[in-house]
Amino acid sequence: MPLALSRRGPTNSDDTAFPPIRETDLDRILKLIPTELLAIYTAAVPVVAEIPWRYAPFALFIAGIACTSVPLYLDGCSTHQAARWPQYIVRILAFVA
């Protein structure tokens, strides 16, 4: 299943159309970052402060940057529709922000 969602509306006359959900800019940015990565990163940040290695926070940040594009790449491999390179850059910049 591709990462893009279908925007089809109700098909039957019995179905009622739902009102549109208003999105903020933050909502749109957070949708670009995989939920699993956000959960792991936010759980690991407090723990990394206790590691004696001084580059541990930077290593966690670099690992997060590397992992932002993996789901997009794997989705492109499974659907045979590779994402264009600007999508990778936008996802990485969204994670950095």
Count of residues in the chain: 97
pLDDT of residue 11: 56
Hunting for tokens 């004696």 — which residue is that? 52
pTM tops 0.85, yes or no? no
| Rg, C-alpha atoms of the chain | 18
Give the chain's residues under pLDDT 70: 1-16
